[in-house]
Amino acid sequence: MITVAEAKRLVQQHIPQPTIIAQNLAEACGFTLAEDITAPFPSPRFTNSAMDGFALRFSASFAEHHGEVRCTIVGESAAGKPFQGTLREGEVISISTGAVVPDAADTVIPQEDCEVSGEVVRIVKPFRKGQWVRQKGAEYDEGALVLRSGTVLRPAHCALAAQLGLHTLPVYAAPRVALLATGREIFSTSSAQHAAPRLLDEGQIYDANTPMLQAAVRDAGAEVKMLRSIDDTLEATLEALSEASAKADIICTTGGVSVGEHDFIKQAAQILGFETIFWRVRQKPGKPLFFAKRDNTLLFGLPGNPVSTLMCFLHYVRPTIATLLVRSATWQTITARMSKSLVNVGGRAEFLRVRLVHEAEHPMQSAVPLDKQESFMLTSLTDADGFVFVDVDANLSEGAPIEVMLF
């Protein structure tokens, strides 16, 4: 067996280079940008009006009119249809928001500050030179870096790309994941035709792992490309792994990685040419974790008990997905105080599920270990706020500060 730290190191060491694809802007939100994007032109592309009103060239002589200015309207600059004539002192053009301000003008008077009579406009409120004019390049110049590689794209980033005339962006592709559940005792509710649960045959259990992993994969930013339940035979396992290898970058199996006579994941992987990187980690839960690789396809043989399944996914598969998406996979953490002393004498590091309790006499929350920690007990996840990593031979005293990784 290897340590948790060594297992994490080996997984990261064998992750292939991320794949870059051109993603349509409408679907790029949430992806990580793979290249810097520079502006092919300035923004604004041309000097334009920030208001509906009248454009003119400011003159010091306006002060002689004691706050009231009369000008002649000689044309119009509409959005998408610039003024083509000549603008002289004492003249204005009507202008729309976003329309080109001609070179001969430098100031816009809002429509509500004017009174219009025929071809004459009377400006009835004070104004200053340059008001309500958006200068060319005021936001950014041509060649400016406007989107930086590594940015996780939000709707505003996609809008900016569209403003640059782009219809796709280079992003890191979402990893394709195949989920294979072993065990003839497993009954998948996804195949049920009715909302009411089907009565199980003796010895059967409902499949909790597959829906859990589907949600976890999507939450991590990857795509589920294949779902399959596998019978406990070598032939069925070989067929499913072979198909998954053609469809997915990451294969996650549940169950079938221990030492039972019906556990065929490791054997099938080896027959198909997967290199075993490690099997079994000194951790609780999740000891029989299996990790293998063939070319750029990664295989995570997750244990079958649901708590072990999810904890192994969160510690090894989710960071792999994050690396392929070029994102951080850090846990959200909080510092709490241990509610009781704890000594780990089991020879394995433990992911101890805890709930956080506020106590009036202590400003810091207490991390209270759940009584039920068995790997088949899903309530040890649903009733917990997070977990504490208790390393081999760790000795935690009551009241000691401890980092809690939040679910």
Phi and psi, residue 155, nearest 5°? -55, -40
Q: For strands 297-302 and 290-294, give the pairing.
A: antiparallel
Closest CA to 31 of 221, 208, 183: 221
Tokens of 163: 């403003």
Closest CA to 221 of 317, 331, 333: 317
Torsion 400-405-406-407 (CA) sign: negative
Torsion 116-117-118-120 (CA) sign: negative
Between CA 194 and CA 207 the distance in angstroms is: 16
User: CA-based Rg of the chain, rounded to a whole angstrom?
Assistant: 32
Cis peptide before 285 (omega within 30 of 0): yes
Neighbours of 401 (CB within 10 A): 11
**Where along the chain do its domains lie?**
4-18+174-324, 20-43+139-172, 48-134, 333-406
76-127 confidence digits (pLDDT tens): 999 999 999 999 989 999 999 999 999 999 999 999 999 999 999 999 998 9
Q: What is the pTM of this model?
A: 0.86
Q: Each residue of 227-240: b (16+ CB within 10 Å) or e?
A: bbbbebeeebbbeb
Query: What architecture (CATH level 2) is domain 20-43+139-172?
Result: Alpha-Beta Complex (3.90)
Q: Which residues pair with 181 in a beta bridge?
A: 229, 254
Q: Each residue of 39-56: b (16+ CB within 10 Å) or e?
A: bebbbbeebbbebbbbbb
DSSP code, position 139: S
**What was the pLDDT predicted at 300?**
98
* Contact by Cβ (8 Å): 399, 338: yes
165-206 confidence digits (pLDDT tens): 999 999 999 999 999 999 877 777 765 555 566 677 788 888
Question: Going residue by residue through the chain (407 aa), what tens digit of pLDDT does each one get?
Answer: 999 999 999 999 999 999 999 999 999 999 999 999 999 999 999 999 999 999 999 987 776 555 578 999 999 999 999 999 999 989 999 999 999 999 999 999 999 999 999 999 999 998 999 999 999 999 999 999 999 999 999 999 999 999 999 999 999 999 999 999 998 777 777 655 555 666 777 888 889 999 999 999 999 999 999 999 999 999 999 999 999 999 999 999 999 998 878 789 999 999 999 999 999 999 999 999 999 999 999 999 999 999 999 999 999 999 999 999 999 888 999 999 999 999 999 899 999 999 999 988 888 999 999 999 999 999 999 999 999 999 999 999 999 999 999 99
Phi and psi, residue 65, nearest 5°? -90, 5
Report the C-alpha dihedral over residues 119, 120, 123, 124, rounded to 10 degrees. -120
**What was the pLDDT predicted at 390?**
97
**What was the pLDDT predicted at 64?**
58
Report the C-alpha dihedral over residues 214, 219, 221, 224, rounded to 10 degrees. 10
CATH of domain 48-134: 2.170.190.11
**What was the pLDDT predicted at 359?**
84
User: Is CATH 3.60.21.10 correct for 4-18+174-324?
Assistant: no
* Contact by Cβ (8 Å): 310, 378: no
User: Is CATH 2.40.340.10 correct for 333-406?
Assistant: yes
